[in-house]
Amino acid sequence: MENEHIIRVESLTKRFGDFIAVNNISFEVKKGEIFGFLGANGAGKTTAIRILTGLSAATSGKAIVAGYDVNENPEKVKKEIGYMSQKFSLYEDLTLKENITFYGGMYGMKYRDIKAKTKELVERFDLGSVQNELISSLPQGWKQKLAFSVAILHNPKIIFLDEPTSGVDPYTRRQFWLMMYEAASHGVTLFVTTHYMDEAEYCNRISIMVDGRIDALGSPSALREQFNAKDMDEVFRIVAQNKKT
């Protein structure tokens, strides 16, 4: 069972004074799953992710991530996870190689492993000519893919992606999702937030947060059936509207 559910959240709550940002949420994420974490702006997604990644302490409830309780062992959790923010997260004034060396070092990777990984990445994306160029000189689409590659550099069990494809063209988005599928096929769990409903369709399962609660949870097809909707876009609107009334 421990191996099955790589993330287990039970009655997780976060209050800021009177405001309840995360209201008693519970869910599980299976190993190797692409889990879509949806919700309107301000629904509490970011707060929930911050708790799961050990950046913020929960007010009450429990979250087990990669086998450790985040509240008790945030440092152990941090070693097992990767993170990619919506802002592009490589250093623009460093070369690709330097970025990889830096992030690899942060996760305590051995120099030999970093070197091997760099070689692998360079061959895979055919980057031989640009590996010593500053990141700022690379096209945007590449940067996004490289950021993802760097985020999985240290073989994390889970990667948290906070709107990784915002502001990216459709072609690059597709490529990006292909990379995510490939990672998932190797057993990496992907926990992704997005505002694109077509992307939600690509997820194995999704949850929709409204006002701090999870109001819908299931595979895209199950949710469509449940809400009698033709696509995820409609599901999202129905769920979001229900809660306003």
Question: In the sheet that 68-69 helps form, which strands lie side by side, from edge to edge?
Answer: 19-30, 5-16, 60-65, 68-69
**Which of 20, 40, 55, 229 contacts another protein by CB under 8 A?**
55
If binding is defined by CB under 8 A, does position 68 make contact with another protein? no
Residues in Cβ contact with 228 at an 8 Å cutoff, skipping those fewer than 6 apart: none
Options 84, 210, 216, 240; binder of another protein; rule CB under 8 A = 84
Count of C-beta atoms within a 10 Å radius of residue 98? 16
Interface characters, 35-54, with another protein (x: CB under 8 A)? ------------------xx
CB contact at 8 A, 8 and 69 = no
Residue 2 engages another protein in binding (rule: CB under 8 A)? no
Which residue's CB is nearer to another protein, number 160 or number 202?
160
Among 24, 31, 40, 107, binds another protein (CB under 8 A): 107
Site string for another protein, 192-221 (x = CB under 8 A): ------------------------------
Residue 132 sits in the site that holds another protein (CB under 8 A): no
CB of 90 to another protein, least distance (A): 8
130 near another protein, judged by CB under 8 A:
no
Residue 106 sits at φ, ψ, to 5 deg, of -60, -35
Smallest separation, CB 137 to another protein (Å): 12
Candidates 92, 113, 120, 133; binder of another protein (CB under 8 A) is 92
Burial of 180 (0-12, 13-18, 19+ CB in 10 A): buried
Per-residue b or e along 43-66, where b marks 16 or more CB atoms closer than 10 Å to that residue's CB: bbbbbbbbbbbbebebeebebbbb
Contact 189, 32 (CB under 8 A): yes
Where on the chain is the footprint of another protein (CB under 8 A)? 53-57, 75, 78-79, 81, 83-94, 98, 101-103, 105-108, 134, 160
